[in-house]
Amino acid sequence: MCFAIVGSRKMTPYGHAVTTKLATDLTRAGVTVVSGLALGVDAAAQRAVVAAGGKTIAVLAGGLDAIHPASHAGLARQIVDLGGVLASEYTVGVPAHKSQFIARNRLVAALADAVIITEAAIKSGSLHTADFALDLGKPICAVPGPITSNTSQGTNQLLKNGAHVIACAQDVLDILGIGPLTSKQQTIFGLNPQQMKILSLMQTGVNKSEELYAKAGMNESDFAQALTMLEIHGHIRSLGSSNWQLL
């Protein structure tokens, strides 16, 4: 499973505490966390994953050589060293730009099975991620915060509009109906139907991206997400030229 954890750049101590706790506990449950490597909640979530020895996907708003902010270059290296992924729809050499942040949020939502917003102001960019998740039919989860805090106005509004209330990692697992994950269950519960379909096809000898996509019967976004997650979890590896190998 892959969950997005996103939120305010102007994170409060409360936001940092709940973000770190959720990211750590979800990582220990075998979940992959996707976020945008941005200041505040994004980086806090991904640092927690790294500290727990887990895998995370950092979606960039520029090319793979355009880590933004530059101060997160070290975190990006740690993510890759632990088997995580830096993802971008932009070619190398394209700098991160404000106009590309919303597009980045679209990819974050597309890669996730559910989107968790831990702290967000009423105009936070992370609310765009929630909108994209809604369009994609994916669960939106939010952590309630103090009504006196500007950085909780956005999350509290999401809850008023019907988002799932999240107080702990188990709440998210329950929403998706997968229950608590033990280490022995991670391999089973870590695969969704799309990933299982691709593995089944590869077991019959189909190993080229084009043929897998044609036979999988899923949309392009779900197909790309399934391949990415299978590679991250060590089920397949790329041989180049759109060829894949079962591990």
Domain harbouring 103, CATH code: 3.40.50.450
Q: Of 123, 142, 175, which residue is a domain's last?
A: 175
Report the pLDDT value the prediction gives residue 179, as an integer from 0 to 100.
Answer: 62
Q: Of 119, 151, 175, which residue is a domain's last?
A: 175
Q: Residue 181 domain-assigned? A: no
**Structural domain count, the chain:** 2
Domain co-membership, 170 together with 195 = no
Q: Residue 96 domain-assigned? A: yes
Q: What is the tens place of the pLDDT at every residue in 98-122?
A: 889 888 999 999 999 999 999 999 9
User: What is the CA 74 to chain-centroid distance, rounded?
Assistant: 19
pLDDT of 130 over the 70 cut: yes
Going by pLDDT thresholds of 50, 70 and 90, the confidence category of residue 185 is very low
How far apart CA 221 and CA 231 sit, in angstroms, is 16
Q: Of 175, 207, 231, which residue is a domain's last?
A: 175
What's the CATH number where 215 sits?
1.10.10.10
Going by pLDDT thresholds of 50, 70 and 90, the confidence category of residue 20 is very high
Domain co-membership, 157 together with 219 = no
Write down the mean pLDDT value for the chain.
88
Domain co-membership, 126 together with 214 = no
Domain co-membership, 120 together with 215 = no
Q: Residue 93 domain-assigned? A: yes
* Distant-in-sequence, close-in-space partners of 138: CB < 8 Å, separation ≥ 6: 109, 112, 113, 114, 115
Report the pLDDT value the prediction gives residue 187, as an integer from 0 to 100.
Answer: 42
Q: What is the tens place of the pLDDT at every residue in 145-164?
A: 988 999 999 999 999 999 99
pLDDT of 234 over the 80 cut: no
Domain co-membership, 161 together with 205 = no
Q: Residue 216 domain-assigned? A: yes
pLDDT: which is higher, 217 or 187: 217
Q: What is the tens place of the pLDDT at every residue in 39-84?
A: 999 999 999 999 988 999 999 999 999 899 999 999 999 999 999 9
Q: Residue 183 domain-assigned? A: no
Domain co-membership, 75 together with 155 = yes
pLDDT of 194 over the 90 cut: no
Domain co-membership, 80 together with 140 = yes
**Residue 239 belongs to domain spanning:** 191-246
pLDDT of 129 over the 90 cut: yes
Q: Which amino acid is at 16?
A: H
Domain co-membership, 229 together with 129 = no
Q: What is the mean pLDDT of residues 16-39?
A: 92
Going by pLDDT thresholds of 50, 70 and 90, the confidence category of residue 180 is low
Report the pLDDT value the prediction gives residue 232, as an integer from 0 to 100.
Answer: 79
